[in-house]
Amino acid sequence: MLVTVPNLWNYDRYGPGVITEWYKSEGDKVKKKDPLCQVMVIKATYIVESPVDGVIKKIIATKGARVKPGDPLVEIEEVTAPAPPTPTAVPQPQVVTEVKPTPKPEEEYSVVKIEGIRKVIADRMTESLRTMAQYTLHTEIDASELVRLRESRFKDYTYTELISYLVIKALRDYPTLNAHVVGDEMRIFKHVHLGIGVQTDKGLLVGVVKNADEMDLDTLVKNTRKIIDDVRQGKAPPEELTGSTFTISNLGMTEVTFFTPIINPPEVAILGVGKIRDVLGRKYLPLSLTLDHRVIDGYVGAQFLGKLKELIENPQKVLPGVSLLEIPESEFSLTAVSLSDTKIEATIRNFRVIVDEPKESGGTNEGPSPIEYLLLALVGCMNVTIRMIARNRKVKIDSIRFSVVGTLNPAKYLGLSKTSRAGLTKISLNVEIKSSAPKDVIYEIIKEAEERCPVHDTLAHGTQINLEITV
């Protein structure tokens, strides 16, 4: 009886399978439903069973052969009844001379056959490097806020799941990274079919979450976990192992920071995620983005990483259930009474503050001027912000000294010009910090303080003033 390869998969979609294991040899007896061999399609495996009782007469498709449904697989000689026992001749005693074999020299290596899934992986990775002009961009992102949210709000989620969600959002702005190259065509996909690298005892496989961009976080996590479980247990069907348009490979559970992931063809990009590092109290996430230079230039890849940086540093913008509105807004207020042409008295909490002009400006010099208070507010706010950031990074600061100069053209204030600005045209701020920390760390702290200081932001970017008049 000729046994052919069963119709176990869609050949037109997934291509040929590979015989990865024979469980029987020629001459072996088999019973109906006994496993004969294993066929792997992409990275899914199927067991072919014997349709009859019999004896293996000839194996046609040997181990490693590529097959499709309907191809000849094996000849089985059907057996309807057990054969009678064959008489055995009684052996005659013989004189045996012991011959000691010449000992072989001890081998200096062991041989492991590259076959099965490992062979398929090897072939695909070789094809990837042979057919693409691959290069890798590396960057490191401050993931402190992502780490904080994961530890406080998303304890049941892995970093792979959270990063995957953010990657999908970033791909919306850079769809050319969500693509395949087939021949002379670049196929840019409407939906993200996200590939997740899964380490198994048979090698690294890629589970695929189809239409991941249409899922909310919980749905994405649910589907990702199911597919990863299927892949690890070896029961993932071909549709869970094929069709990815962008892949993530996470080595964050190891000691690896940066590495060079190899693109999963025919995709054009893969993102490698390394171990989060603690640097002076901040959490930094290493990322390695490998791209196909045939279709993706370095500038585009860098822009994508920039978008991903924005999302990872500000995950509250896109993660569900997290909003800046959850942090109550702070309100600051005061009341003031005009005492003269140049002097006011303000009440701020329990403090009485006098604002005045110097005598050369017509005042009585009983307190700083409004502009001087404005500059003082900038310095005071920068001091608090710098100290807070340094404390969070566990950086000891011995002292901070500020000097600030504001430049004002009074022409418009005095009514002499209609075109010049009434406000300060320039503010020069000098910050002198004494600390044992490296200079580049101090520069990073000051740079971050510029972005986070409320008064600095108000002066640098402007804030709408709602004026109400009571007569």
Angle between helices 298-313 and 159-173 (to 10 degrees): 130
Q: Are 274 and 288 in contact (CB under 8 A)?
A: yes
Exposed, middle or buried, 290 (CB in 10 Å: 0-12/13-18/19+)?
buried
Structure tokens at 337: 């009474």
* Residue type, position 167, single letter: V
Taking the C-alpha atoms of residue 202 and residue 198, their distance in angstroms, rounded to an integer, is: 10
Task: Examine the residue annotation and report whether 293 is marked as an active-site residue of this protein.
Answer: yes
> Is residue 175 within 8 Å of residue 246, measured between CB atoms?
no
Rounded to whole angstroms, the Cα distance separating 298 from 304 reads 10
Sheet holding 54-59, edge to edge: 2-4, 72-78, 54-59, 29-30
Q: Helix count (H) and strand count (E) of the chain?
A: 9, 22
- Which two three-digit tokens encode residue 237? 């069907």
Residues 453, 381: contact at Cβ < 8 Å?
yes
Of 191, 193, 293, 461, the active-site residue reads 293
Instruction: Give catalytic residue positions.
Output: 293
